[in-house]
Structure 1
Amino acid sequence: SGVNQTLPRINPKFISYFLRTQAHQDWMMAVCAFGATMASLNQDIVKLINVPVPPIDIQNKIVGLLSAYDDLIENNKRRITLLENMAEEIYREWFVRFRFPGWQEAEFEKGLPASWAVAQGDDLFEVVKGKSYSSEEISDHLNGGRPFINLKNFNRGGGYRSNGLKYFRGEFRDRQQVNRGDVVMAVTDMTQNREVIGRAARVPYLGETDGIISLDVVKISAFSWPDLFTYAHLRYSGISEALKELANGANVLHLKPDLIGKQKYLVPDTPTVEEFVKLVEPFYEQIEKLEQQIDMLEYTKNQLLPRLISGKLSVENLNIQFPPSMQSDKSDNAAEAAA
């Protein structure tokens, strides 16, 4: 017809945020599953996606606001990684390379400090099996249930993952309860690379009620040394690498809990363990605070996301300071405009 149709300017990050909204995710699942035995995505479905496109300055403000949350979250994650690396390095320096405080004057026998020992796990800690459950007993929401520590609460390689938490309503034994500081280990794994099984995590503050461990998890309670040392020992000594190789199964890997106690573990003297815990405990306290901040930032961002994308929450009159992650984008746009 000879009429020039100018396409609206698009900020790619705005599209990215739109695709993350729950409304869009629900629409995609409904369309993909319609008339099919298995949900699938194809080019025809992609063409049906209807994206709301406000003016570019509104898009930029929305992206700027949401990116500020993402930047804070990523910054906290980097700080957590740094703190964890520091704790691991101290552990390895003391208990792998044996350069603990006073090591120069210590006596060694057969490669170990004379006051240290090696013992079987059964003599050092108790392994408590988790609770079997039915799908009707667990939920994604509290609904009067208790926090349910399950396989999704483990990061690959170890450590706690808060957004995998479920809630349990059912009967359980007192021994299957966990609270802040308890050490848990995954004994099931869906990843064939064995990235979760045999890995330890430290339970954070779960609220006013204790949590419950699922059948895919065990609680490891030491008889004499602090739980924090148990956690560091399981995370950084290399024992998880040995344990994961003991798991078996075709599609789902399983580690028999009894095998955890059959392994040999290093037993440092009590003063060294206590000094280590005193040194690294502030690291883990800071890690827990940063993880709580991440959870709050994620929650707030997820509450804002659909309202911003839909336009229900207006940003037109807001003076938004663009975060550092957007500065390069603005520079690129300026250079493009100048060209």
Structure 2
Amino acid sequence: MREKLKLHCDVISGYAFSSSDWKEEGIPVIKIGNISNGSDIDCDELQYVDEFFWDKLDPKYHISNGDILVSLTGSHINQPNSMVGRSCRSLTEKKYLLNQRAGKVIPFDNTDKNYLYYLLSTKAIKYDIANRAYGGANQVNVSPSDIKNIKWKFPLIEKQKKISGILLKYDELIQNNNKRIIQLEDIAQELYREWFVRFRFPGYENAKFEDGIPEGWKIKRMNEFCYVTDGTHDTPKPVDVGVPFVTGRCISSGFVDFDAAYNISEADHEGIKKRSGLKSGDILFSNIGTVGNCCIVDYNREFSVKNVIIFKPETMRDTAYLYYWMTSSIMQEIFSAQTNGASQQFVGLTFMRRYKLLVPKDDILEAFADKVLPIVEQKRLLHQKNLNLDAQRDMLLPRLMSGKLEV
């Protein structure tokens, strides 16, 4: 028998912080923009409030590991990456607080928390939420009671746990792969710092230094080191089937997140392609909004870009050095300083073309590439495994939840 969700969970909206509450640091607050269309919270653009709010506010506004979140405000169904009803869960021990219009789903004792999360991840529930939304052309809202009035045929909790247990195995493998990707990245970053920040590169003991840099190394402008361009300045209309349109927000953890992109027509893509001419080994750098996210292009599928600067080194050797130069903590501090105080963070194409970087001798570049390119490849393979696991889980999800696949 179909039952309303309110018999299985509560849904609350977050606390209404005032504009004067926001601080440069403290407890991070999860807003609707931080609720991703996936398994974990999007922490790219967090805002903070004073630490005392943690004790001041009702614990229902606390977000802990495993808590389920749902966006109560968003766009219509035709924009799935920002649509109302997106859901995710916290996969970290970090403490967060919940902002208004960001919803928290609290299961009752008769319902398995993981089953409830996967239920909210189904298209059936997402579309049911979106169809109950009200508002204007660009933004719609749902209330907690709207969600709680949705009906579903809930199995007994023992079966709920069996279903969620199958799906959890996929997510656990994905999380383990993500941890390995982070470990590999840390190894490569530490090697970069050792060679190019501390100057303990091979043969450093016998190296001569001139004006604080090793002899034979050169200071070059970026456009002397590689070709630098950017993506389109237009915003093509989305289509149901077409070519992915990737913006700077789609660059995450060193990869392109195609799930965060929308599709554009082949004709629009061909016009943009002439400008960007993407190829494997190019580096994408997000330069508007969330500045400084980078990835190396693995161009095994067509896509167009906006709100990115594109760096085109001539060789993978140069790509390896430039990528870790751009993702080093020192460079991230420079990018942050460049954007402080602006209403919207932005690093311009001219600035990046003129920016100067230290370029080591060819033999050092070759030696560094020999060390880190295998790491880049291992990261790519792990990321591809995650995409495959994602696809397999998403194929099983509706069949398990609907009961078409028995457990």
What SS is found at the alignment partner of 2:309? strand
Gap change, CA 1:83 and 1:17, over 3 Å in 2 = same
The structure 2 residue matched to 1:253, chosen from 345, 365, 370, is 345
Corresponding residue for residue 67 of structure 2: none
Corresponding residue for residue 200 of structure 1: 294
Corresponding residue for residue 288 of structure 1: 380
Corresponding residue for residue 397 of structure 2: 305
Gap change, CA 1:303 and 1:83, over 3 Å in 2 = same
Corresponding residue for residue 337 of structure 1: none
Q: TM-score, normalised by structure 2?
A: 0.66
CA–CA separation in structure 1 for the residues paired with 2:240 and 2:323: 27
Equivalent residues of 1:179, 1:211 under 8 A apart: no
Corresponding residue for residue 251 of structure 2: 154
Deviation at 1:38, TM superposition (A): 5.3
Corresponding residue for residue 280 of structure 2: 180
The structure 2 residue matched to 1:123, chosen from 191, 209, 224, is 224
Equivalent residues of 1:153, 1:165 under 8 A apart: yes
Structure 2, unpaired ranges of 5+: 1-107
Specify the structure having the higher radius of gyration (Cα): 1
Equivalent residues of 2:294, 2:326 under 8 A apart: yes
Equivalence map 1:5-20=2 (5 Å): 9-20=110-121
What SS is found at the alignment partner of 2:272? coil
Equivalent residues of 2:222, 2:355 under 8 A apart: yes
1:47 is the counterpart of 2:148: yes
Amino acid corresponding to residue 296 of structure 1 in structure 2:
N
Equivalent residues of 2:280, 2:298 under 8 A apart: yes
Corresponding residue for residue 67 of structure 1: 168
Equivalent residues of 2:135, 2:141 under 8 A apart: no
Equivalent residues of 1:149, 1:212 under 8 A apart: yes
Equivalent residues of 2:232, 2:275 under 8 A apart: no
Structure 1, unpaired ranges of 5+: 1-6, 190-195, 316-339
Amino acid corresponding to residue 76 of structure 1 in structure 2:
N
The structure 1 residue matched to 2:196, chosen from 79, 95, 109, is 95
Query: Residue deviations 1:245-281, cap 9 Å, x none?
Result: 3348965433221100222211111100110001111
Q: TM-score, normalised by structure 1?
A: 0.78
Gap change, CA 1:134 and 1:199, over 3 Å in 2 = closer
Amino acid corresponding to residue 180 of structure 1 in structure 2:
S
Corresponding residue for residue 303 of structure 2: 211
Equivalent residues of 2:246, 2:304 under 8 A apart: yes
What SS is found at the alignment partner of 1:51? strand
Corresponding residue for residue 221 of structure 1: 312
Corresponding residue for residue 107 of structure 1: 208
Deviation at 1:70, TM superposition (A): 0.6
The structure 2 residue matched to 1:164, chosen from 248, 255, 260, is 260
Corresponding residue for residue 327 of structure 1: none
Aligned length: 295
Q: What is the root-mean-square deviation in Å for CA atoms of aligned residues?
A: 2.7
Which structure's relative contact order is higher, taking Cα pairs within 8 Å and 6+ residues apart?
1
Gap change, CA 1:68 and 1:202, over 3 Å in 2 = same
